[in-house]
Amino acid sequence: MLLQNKQVAIVGGGPGGLTLARLLQQNGAAVRVYERDRSRHGRVQGGTLDLHHESGLAALRAAGLLEEFKARYRPGADKLRLTDKHAAVAYDQHAEAPADTFGDESFRPEIDRGPLRDILLDSLQPDTVVWDSQLASVQPLGAGWQLAFRNGTTATADILIGADGANSKIRPLLTPIKPFYSGVTIVEGSVYDSAQNAPRLHELAQGGKIFALDDAKTLVVSAKGDGSLNFYTGCKTAETWARDSGIDFSNAPEVLAWFRQEFAGWDERWAELFADEATPCVPRPQYCMPLDQTWPAQPNITLLGDAAHLMPPYAGEGVNMAMLDALELSTCLTDDQFPDLQAAISHYEQRMRQRASAVARETMEQTAALHAAGALGYLVGFFGEAKFG
């Protein structure tokens, strides 16, 4: 095996990095995952994820974790309501009889990020994940790498894999190519105990998702299994708007004042999203990697997930692509058809970039369509075509 007597370092303990660690360990590889969180419970995980048959679920099947997923996913959480700014429902999946299930290519079951992470963490060998390991620097060391972390520790590895997201510190070792601004900035937040703090939106969500589209703006709300709502607004802004606006996004009244101005004319019930003054919001300018990006393959370093192909969330492919990256990379690294690691990595990267380019093009088209006039009608038509086409 190409990885025999090799130490693999995965930087980043998100779904992609953890899936890769599991798949490599199944094939006998020596793996460490270096994660900046102080512990597995050190940070509240974000919203819900829908996993797709050909990507996220395929990776879980290969990892032998589909039964654990079935025990933890949230039936009905994939149900969607499309509304206008007045919260008038234009399309309602809750009114449709359940049709798909596991094994159906169109079935996209939902799971919260926290439970998915727990499934993956619990599948790994003890001490695979090295917590409190925020990467400070990376240097070549012989034919491998030396990693230094902000806590003062160091580690060495023969193979380095960057699964460290949008602001990857591994990516610059491979390519200087940077993402471009999509034109849209998201403001993300959560409402805890939504039945109490946001009762009208809690009722509107019915345990699933709301997509509100109007005035060339978007508002996406997702119910989580802990009783909270995760949400993000989407607006066309200048790239530096979040920095230049002067808004203190940790101050809920300030963010609510901005929302009422920016989303003027929207129903007052949406203001419930900012009812909990103890919960900060986070502005996130959305970026996308160039569709034609490329770089020469190296023998001991590669990327997966957002570190490789960052894009906005409006096609719902991010985590699924990262988990499919993990599946394809693990297959290449453990397949005897390749003469050496560089050939294996080259094969993976070429396919990964080709696949990511197609999805990024679709994502940018979707992002533009959802932040344009007539977006609600467009999306109602999209889901109707998907249902009946």
- Provide the annotated binding site for FAD: 50, 113, 306
DSSP count for the chain of H helices, then E strands: 12, 17
Binding site for NADPH: what residues are annotated? 43
Q: With CA atoms as reference, report the closest residue to 37 among 141, 151, 156.
A: 151
Amino acid identity of residue 388, one-letter, is F
Amino acid identity of residue 131, one-letter, is W
CA distance 231 to 190: 6
Q: Which string of DSSP letters, residue by residue, matches 224-271? A: -TTS-EEEEEEEE--TTHHHHS---TT-HHHHHHHHHHHTTTS-GGGG
**Taking the mean position of all CA atoms in its chain, how far away is CA 200?**
28
Q: With CA atoms as reference, report the closest residue to 205 among 234, 225, 189.
A: 225
3-state per-residue secondary structure call for 276-332: CCCCCCEEEEEEECCCCCCCCCCCCEEECCHHHHCCCCCCCCHHHHHHHHHHHHHHH
Amino acid identity of residue 213, one-letter, is L
Q: With CA atoms as reference, report the closest residue to 305 among 169, 178, 168.
A: 168
| Angle made by CA atoms 24, 317, 371, in degrees to the nearest 5 | 160
In degrees and rounded to multiples of 5, residue 276 shows phi and psi of: -90, 100
Q: 111-140 as b/e, with b when 16 or more CB fall inside 10 Å?
A: bbbbbbbbbbbebbeeebbbeebebeebee
Under 8 Å CB-to-CB from 343, ≥6 apart: which residues? none
CA distance 177 to 275: 41
Binding site: what residues are annotated? 43, 50, 113, 306
CA distance 22 to 161: 14
CA distance 147 to 354: 30
